[in-house]
Structure formats: C-alpha cells, structure tokens
Chains A and B, each alone.
Chain A
Amino acid sequence: MEQLALFFALLFLTVLGFILGKGRAVALSGQSDQPLHSRLPYYGLYTAIWCGLPSLLIMAGWMIFEPQIAEILVKSQLKEANQSLSADQLSLYINDVINLASGGILSREPDESILEAAESYHLFKQISYFAMAVVAISVSLVTLFGSLRKISPTLRARNKVEKVISVIMMISSLIAILTTLGIVLSLIFETLRFFEKVPFFDFIFGTHWSPQTALRSDQVGGSGSFGAIPLFAGTMLITFICMVIAIPVGLMSAIYMSEYAGKNFRAFAKPVLEILAGIPTVVYGFFAALTVAPFFRNTGTMLGLDVSSESALAAGAVMGIMIIPFISSLSDDVMNSVPQSLRDASYAMGATKSETITKVIIPAALPGIVGAILLAMSRAIGETMIVVMAAGLAANLTANPLEAVTTVTVQIVTLLVGDQEFDSAKTLAAFALGLLLFVVTLSMNVVALKVVRKYREKYD
C-alpha cells in the first residue's frame, strides 16, 4: 500500500517532468534564434524519462532486495538468541517472525525471542520504506532538474528518447526468450535428476509404462517401470488419426474457400470455421468422451468389432475436427496470396480451373501449406484435454485404433495431479516426458522451417 503511494508520487513527478521539460523547450524556442533540434514533445519525454526511469528502477530494485536483507537481519538476531536451531527450524522461525510482523497466523505461541525479532523486523521495514522513499524521490528530483538544465537547442532529445524506447522494446523481447530458456533449463535439470533414478535407455527404449511406486516402505506399490515407448506410440497413433482427418478436410475446404467459393460465402464461412478453433478443448473433450466414443463403441458392437469405450479413434477423430481450422484457415490465406498474375498466366495457357489449382496454385503455396500442417501437427501432439477425457489411461503398446491408448500429455497430467513427492521418480518422470515432448515438437518445427525454406517457390 505504502509502495503504491510512492509509485504514484514518482509517476506524478514524471508527468511534472514532461510538462516542465516541454515548457522549457517552448521558452527556449522563443528566446533563441537557433532552431531546436527536435520537436517540442521530445524534450518533455526526455525530462520525463530522466525523472521517472532511474527512480522507478531504484524502487524496483529496493523492493526486490529488501526482503532478503531483512531475512538476513532476522536470521542473525535469532541465531544469537537460539544457538541450537537447525537450518530447517530456523527458516520456520523466520516465517513466524514475518507472519507476526504482518499480522498473519503463527505455527506456535510466540516466545520472547520471536516477539523481539518481529519488533526489529517491523522497525527495519519502516526504516527501509522511509529510506526508499527519500532516496527515490531525491533521485527523481535531482535527475529532473539535471535534465532540465541540459535542455538546449543542440540537445538531440529525439535520438535519446528513441534510444531509450528501443532499449525498453529489446528488454520486452528478451523476457519471452529468457522465459523459454528458464523453462527449458528447469526441464533439463529435473530430467537429469530423473535419469539418476531411472537409466536413460530404460526410459527411451522401454516398452512398459507403469509409474506406480511405493511412497513409503509400508505401502504396497509397483516397482515402477518407465518405458516411454507406449506413450509416444499412443501419441503418434492419435496424431496420425487426427491428421488423416484434418489434412484432407482442411485442404479441401481451403481450396474451396480460396478458389471456388463466392465472396459472400467466404465472408461467412471463414469466420465460422475459425470459431471451431476457439471452442475450448475441454468442450471437445466431453464431446469426444460422451458422444463420439460411445457412438464408435455401439457402431463397433453392431459390426461385431470389439471397440473399447475409450479409444484412440474417438480421441483422434475429435482432435482432427478441432485441428481442421488450423489447416484450412492458414492454407486458405496462403493460397489467396498467390498473385492473380499467376492464375491469369495459367488460364491464358488454356488451363482449366482445376489444372490451375493443382499445377500452379498449390505448388506456389506449398511452403505455407506444409507450414500449416506442421503447426497443426505440433498442436495435435501437445493437445491434452481431449486425450485425457477420451483416450484413456492404459499404456497399451498397440497400433489398433479401437483400443484405449495413452499419450505423453495425459501421463504428465496424471503424474502431477494429487499429492506429490518431489524426489520420487514418478514425479520427475513428468519432467523427462515434458522435455522429450518439447524436443520432438521443436525438431518438427525446425524441420518444417527447413522444408519451407528449401521448397519455397518465390513468386514476385
């Protein structure tokens, strides 16, 4: 709350800086014969940035490091009081101190030392806040007047402001990259821990998946076997079924919409088709589990086939429907962007519409179409909700689409649902599966990029 007040004070100073900076530039342009280097608002922005940015950065840094410093202080104080505490107990104590200071619930009756520590913690907090406010505001004021003094007709305000803005944009793009990197690194480290417990080749080439292990010695449980092959086989089977449905339907609807459909139909059908992509996957999931799977089972029974009530076919079919708009919409866009001049050239050669489509438009649009298919495929591989609800949990190693199979994503979900123990192979297996899945989809994307680059038919 107090921090918010300080934040708004700094924001106010920043706005003030803008007004003062611009005002000074206006005054300068009136009295000096030399024309100003930049337009007036840039001088305002220049002062505003100088006034706001350093002080806000100081405030942010302070708020990040303050709790750590406070904790160290509390820790040293508690250590003096209770020499005998172990590290775990100490951290529990510190929690209590912080809770007490902020009015939270304690894990025990507060004793003398805790009360004392809480008192000093509270005091430290207040001093720290006061100091932060003083430092931030004075920095803000100093930079404000410093930058105001620097404003002169020769100051390249626009260049400086643009430089700052470009740095801010660069940092924004770094956030996404660093987050990805962080996720990958955490996956890698947990996976390494997993491979300390389970041999690498058992995981990669094992054909039996049964992750149940006893958590305590008195518990009955499987010994746990972590062969990932059935999971990847299941994933591939479902993805295959999905693509068998989605690719032909998606491509044909794309061809129809970009080449044959009238403007009105296209204007109506394209958004409607894209709605398919907007339906939450959980809705598809219960559609698959409650409607499609029983339908397949009943049909199978009528034909004398043994169809499991949770089958790869049901999950794959529904996923295929879900994927259609990815393929059709992207391919439609790509085919639409094939220039009219190529169509004209083909028609003028006496080609019919279908010859033009198969011999000119699709080859020219192929990179985009391949890209669309691969994007859809990595979407299908990573899809979770539909398979959780409709494909089942049994890790069968089978190529029969009528049986229940399980996928990598489903197993990650089941491994991490419920109470966890972070050092058991069962939990860590989820990270290994996640990493493997990530590697598979990443390499697919890389291959896709290569294919697209190689076969790009440049029309221009």
Chain B
Amino acid sequence: MSSAMDMQNFNIINDPITSEPKIIARDVNVFYGASQALKSINLDIGANEVTSLIGPSGCGKSTFLRCLNRMNDVIENCMVEGRINLDGIDIYNSGLDPVLLRARVGMVFQKPNPFPKSIYDNVAYGPKLHGTVSNKDELDERVEKSLRRAGLWDEVKDRLDKPGTGLSGGQQQRLCIARAIAINPEVILMDEPCSALDPIATAKIEELIDELRKRFTIVIVTHSMQQAARVSQKTAFFHMGEVVEVGETDKLFTSPQDDRTQGYITGRFG
C-alpha cells in the first residue's frame, strides 16, 4: 500500500469519495496536439460500484474514460500526463503492457460494434485471444455464462452461429457487454452505451448495469442525467476539461454545491 500512501501527497481537491478506491487518478492532463482536453483531473473510482461521468459535450468525460484503459494511445498526437493507478499500480509509467491492462479494464462503446462474426465468435474472441480457456467445453461454458450475465442467452441460444451484426441494436449492445465480460475484467468502462438505443433496450441495459455492479467496477459516461441518477452511486460532473464536482449521486443531483453543476442538471446550459 506504499503507492496508496504515496497518493496522500497529492493535493486532493474533491472529497475522497470512496473508502476503497479501485482507480485513483491524480493530476491527469491530456493534450490533443496543442489543445488541452483535460486539466489536472483528480478522481477516485470506487470498487464494485457505478460511477457516472456527466457533463456537456466536449467536456472531456470520454477522454478521461479512454485514459483508464489507455485507448487514447491509439490516437495520434494524444499525450497523457499525471498518474492513474489501478489497484495501486501506475498504468502509464510502471511498464504495464496496455494489452494486459485492457484485459483487466474492458470497454463498451457508444455505438454497438460487434465483430462481423457469429454471436459465439464475438463472445469467444477475448477468451481465445488471452488463452484463458483450455478447451472447447470451457469455451462453450464461458460463452454461455457471459451471454447469461449480459441477459442475452435466452434470446440467442438457438442462433449462436448467426452473425452478431444481425441482432437488433439493443441486443448488439448487450452482445458487446457479453464480449467485454467474457475475459473477466475488473473494471468495465461504458461510453454512452445507450445513446443509440430505444427506451426499452436502454432499460434492459440499465438493469444489466445494476446487476453487473456486484462483480465489476463500472464507469459510465452518459448524457442522460436520469440515467446517471438511476444507475450510478457516484457521479462526477465534468466541465471544460475539469472535474467541477463529484459526490454521491443522490446528493449531487439534489443539492449540488457548484453553480455550474446546478446549471447543468437543471438544464440551463449544456
């Protein structure tokens, strides 16, 4: 826990929002070329709970999310400064292979993006890649378990060999969640997972998120404040690349401390 002690030396702007943080971000700055997207972000992500990131478009919440599994590495001329610790290990500077990091920190994207493969192969992609299953039976079992956890098993069990792209939008997104949890990650990042879905599919995903919280730490970016209120325990409000306010979801929505938060959640801007 020496690294956790180390963290105490950073000045903490916001209240420490959780007693057992899974991820600790300190003084994170992100630049795209010359423009700064995130300005010294300090944020803790609690284990086994849902943290939602809200804020107007372009405020940096997706950028921050993509810092957590180093997906920003793929983007040219993107530079990340500061420290992000996952279970006390600095994910940027400790020589941790981003490939292994991403096996621990899964991600679900805004638009459902199943591979143009069969439903089975979509879910089996990760386990095969990381060699976490030793034979076909185990793989079958893993696929079934992941699809069950994603609440999709009953709908697709008879057509596992059909292309995943043939499913409806909501089913595709649940397939993507099943694909992400098939490698047993510790954290799941969700980047507006419901923005391309209708209300019924959205309700299913939200139910699922609540269910998944028992096993996984979840960070979700959302534009819907109702969604943030429904699914998350903690909420962080981003504005202009900064974390303006962070706290218990109930408190943040009922009695925001900052004028900007107040303005945003009451719909005056953003």
Which of A's residues lie within 8 Å of B, judged by CB?
Answer: 339, 341-352, 355, 359-360, 363-364, 457-460
Contact = CB atoms under 8 A, between A and B. Distances in A.
Given A341-B113, A344-B109, A363-B117, A349 B183 contact: yes
Given A344-B71, A359-B129, A460-B165, A349 B180 contact: yes
The prevalent SS among residues of B at the interface is helix
A363 B129 contact: no
Given A348-B107, A350-B100, A342 B129 contact: no
A341 B165 CA distance: 13
- 4 nearest A-B pairs in the assembled complex, by CB-CB distance: A457-B116, A350-B103, A348-B107, A350-B102
A345 B172 CA distance: 13
Contact of B71 (A342, A348, A352, A363): A348
A348 B106 contact: yes
A458 B117 CA distance: 9
Contacts of A350: 99-103, 126, 129-130, 183
7 contacts: A344-B107, A349-B102, A350-B100, A350-B183, A359-B129, A457-B116, A458-B116
B99 A351 contact: yes
Given A341-B109, A457-B163, A348 B102 contact: yes
Given A344-B107, A350-B129, 20 more contacts: A341-B111, A342-B113, A344-B113, A345-B114, A345-B179, A348-B106, A348-B180, A349-B102, A349-B125, A349-B126, A349-B179, A349-B180, A350-B101, A350-B102, A350-B103, A351-B125, A355-B129, A359-B125, A364-B116, A458-B165
A243 to B, nearest CB: 27
B69 interface: yes
B129 A349 contact: yes
B153 interface: no
A129 B179 CA distance: 80
Interface in B172-211: 176, 179-180, 183
A350 B187 CA distance: 13
A359 B121 CA distance: 11
Nearest to B108: A348
Contacts of A345: 109, 113-115, 176, 179
A347 B71 contact: yes
Nearest to B110: A341
B74 interface: yes
Interface of B: 69, 71, 74, 99-103, 106-107, 109, 111, 113-117, 125-126, 129-130, 163, 165, 176, 179-180, 183
Contacts of A460: 165
Nearest to A459: B116
Contacts of A459: 116, 165
Contacts of B102: 347-350
B74 A363 contact: no
A409 B109 CA distance: 54
A459 B101 CA distance: 27
Contacts of B180: 348-349
Contact of B106 (A349, A360, A364): A349
B74 A342 contact: no
Nearest to A456: B116
B97 to A, nearest CB: 9
Contacts of A351: 99, 125, 129
B5 to A, nearest CB: 30
A71 B169 CA distance: 73
A363 B106 CA distance: 23
Nearest to A355: B129
A369 B183 CA distance: 31
Chain A CB within 10 A, most for which of B101, B114, B129: B129
A32 B183 CA distance: 76
Nearest to B104: A350
A339 B183 CA distance: 23
A337 to B, nearest CB: 13
B88 to A, nearest CB: 20
A111 B165 CA distance: 84
B198 to A, nearest CB: 18
A92 to B, nearest CB: 69
A348 to B, nearest CB: 4
Contacts of A352: 99
A347 B176 CA distance: 13
A415 to B, nearest CB: 48
Contacts of B113: 339, 341-342, 344-345
B118 to A, nearest CB: 10
